[in-house]
Amino acid sequence: MTWSEKGQAYDTFALASALVAGDFESARGAFITCVSLNDPEWSPRAAVVLGDLLWERGDAETAEPLLRIAVESQHPEWSAHAGIVLGVLLAARGDSDGAVASYKTVIAAGNVELAPHAWFNLGTTYQARGDAEPAVDAFRHAMASGHPDFGPSAAVNLGFVLFNDLHQAAEAEAIFSAVIASGHPEQAPLAARNLAALRQLAAAVDDPEPPEVVEEPNRVDDPDPAWHFWRRRPRRS
């Protein structure tokens, strides 16, 4: 590819990015042109950006082949980004096997910055379909990465699975306590509410009508945390 052709790919990507806010259809056309140029840097990037934008707008059918183009490019960064978005898209469509495969591809590629995200999403996908043991393994990998966001997020989910699915209350309590001690601005308060729910539910074991555990976000002012035992969902970003 000549410098002139690389310059064309860059200019087309820049034009598409500038048009997104005010003229999406023109931006879409420019992104598609950039993808068609087969530039090793800018074409995969354009495919990811347009695929993600289309997915946000509810057009999964058009987004999926663009994301697969980026995945197949094997670009060290944008292929991994595409694999994560593709996994979320497939999981939302009910194709959990496809989502698992997509996240595993990202992990196998060895991108140290994006692997924690893929491990977290892999865990939530296993968790959503009731596969507790592989979910635990995936969350432990995300935690071990030391990622400042996906590590604590994985810990919150791990505590949920350990207590709710594997009945390992002591370890779940220790994990929630560790997240609380970390002071993470989002996950520490969630872990605190989950820990309160865990203790309330554990105390209610002999209650003939114990509170039900449901999987939905907590409200900050919720008077009964056991009704809202919280877990993270897969994330695109």
Please tell me the distance from the alpha carbon of residue 35 to that of residue 12, in angstroms, as a whole number: 10
pLDDT (0 to 100) of residue 45: 97
User: What residue ranges of the chain have pLDDT lower than 50?
Assistant: 213-230
Q: Does the domain at residues 1-111 carry the CATH identifier 1.25.40.10?
A: yes
pLDDT (0 to 100) of residue 2: 58
pLDDT (0 to 100) of residue 147: 96
List of long-range contacts for 46-51, beta carbons under 8 Å, 24+ apart: 46/12, 46/13, 46/16, 47/73, 47/78, 47/82, 48/78, 48/81, 48/82, 48/85, 49/16, 49/17, 50/16, 51/82, 51/85, 51/86
Taking each helix axis from N to C end, the angle separating 42-56 and 78-92, rounded to the nearest 10 degrees, works out to 20
HSE-CB of 237 using CA atoms within 13 angstroms: 6
The domain ranges of the chain are: 1-111, 132-237
HEC sequence for 97-145: HHHHHHHHHHHHHCCCCCHHHHHHHHHHHHHHCCCHHHHHHHHHHHHHC
pLDDT (0 to 100) of residue 201: 84
Q: Do 163 and 176 form a contact (C-beta atoms < 8 A)?
A: no
pLDDT (0 to 100) of residue 236: 67
pLDDT (0 to 100) of residue 211: 53
